Amino acid sequence: MTNLSEPPDGIHGYHGNNLAVRTLMIVFTSIALYNSIELFILLFLTFQSYRGLYFWTLLLSVVLGVIPHAIGYLLEFFSLAPLWFSLTLSTIGFYVLVPGQSVVLYSRLHLVVQSSKVLRFVLWLIIIDAVILLIPTTVLTFCTAYVAKPAMIRGYNVMERMQLAWFCAQEMVISGIYIIETVKLLKMMPDKDRRRTRIMYELLAINLVIILLDICLLVVEYIGFYSLQTTLKPMVYSIKLKLEFGVLGKLVSVVQNQKSQPNSSEHEEYPGFVDPTQFTTDVTHAAPRESRSRGRRGWNSNTISMESLPMSERRIRPSTQSTDGSAQPT
């Protein structure tokens, strides 16, 4: 671990001669930007209507989170722009990216969690942690860059490590709740339904990968590789956002599979979130533009209204249309 009284290597530009470090910083940033552009396109191709907590948090995390965070640190380390501009850009990205990831986790948590107390706890945890951790980190970042007194430098080094560990722990808690509830759901599933069981195990694996990525980020931070950690972070978060996008498709696939068998005796063995009657819109394909404008409804935590499903997960087609022009399940 580096000396906490020394300024982080790279806050005034990376002046090291290590070619491998410079190469990795460029590679990490390039992957983050590529993932962001790809996810941005996928969002508009797979969502029927552009609304809802999940859609907007995912979109903002990409556009105002990953992209400015990655570009800001790249400009800072290679001295390609004024320091104030680089710090401001990366700080904006940080504000949206890190808490935004937790909000993305929260936005689909209600699909498996039935307790309103747990959901409120997670929401307030995200809000309070964002206020407590983001503001001091921002102040110490600019103080370290422009004032550079030993006490401020030490405060920044401590706060940087603490906020990263805290946000990672927060995401692990949310993912842990999701994993526990998913395991409970697996126990309720009949053994003969192999496809649905396989999907739930895939969801567990995705959440475990998200936790492992957080651990890798923590390790890089605490061994003192500040430059690598700050460029690795947007890449890690871009990967986690893509995994989150896959999670939703898997969840909707479970619902669609149950919806396609309305007369099944297994229907009563599942909790409310897999009840096909909770779907208010067709999730299999995009509706016409004029239909979208007439059929939109607000976000409701008790109704699954996330209108997205990747092409690979589509299983059924609607058989009837509602009178207002929006597709309704049969």
Is pTM beyond 0.85? Reply is no
| Nearest-angstrom CA–CA distance, 167 and 81 | 29
Q: What are phi and psi of 320, to 5 degrees?
A: -135, 160
pLDDT at 260: 54
Taking residue 64's Cβ as centre, other Cβ atoms within 10 Å add up to 16
- Written as one letter, the residue type at 183 is V
Taking residue 330's Cβ as centre, other Cβ atoms within 10 Å add up to 11
Stated length of the chain: 330
In the CATH hierarchy, which fold is given to the domain comprising 19-249? Rhopdopsin 7-helix transmembrane proteins (1.20.1070)
Residue-wise pLDDT for 110-142, tens only, equals: 777 888 899 999 999 999 999 999 999 999 999
280 in Cβ contact with 297 (< 8 Å):
yes
Q: Identify the helix (H) or strand (E) that includes residue 198.
A: helix 194-222
Structure tokens at 100: 């935004």
pLDDT at 185: 72
Task: Rank 92-96, 189-193, 265-269, 293-297 by mean pLDDT and report only the highest.
Answer: 92-96
Q: Is residue 330 classed as helix, strand or coil in its secondary structure?
A: coil
Say yes or no to pLDDT of 289 above 80.
no
| Nearest-angstrom CA–CA distance, 282 and 321 | 9
* 295-322 average pLDDT score: 42
Q: How confident is the model at residue 172 (pLDDT cuts 50, 70, 90)?
A: confident
Mean pLDDT check: name the lowest of 33-37, 184-188, 203-207: 184-188
pLDDT at 213: 87
Q: How confident is the model at residue 322 (pLDDT cuts 50, 70, 90)?
A: very low
As to burial, measured by CB atoms within 10 angstroms (0-12 exposed, 13-18 middle, 19+ buried), residue 42 is middle
Query: Of 41 and 323, which is predicted with more confidence?
Result: 41
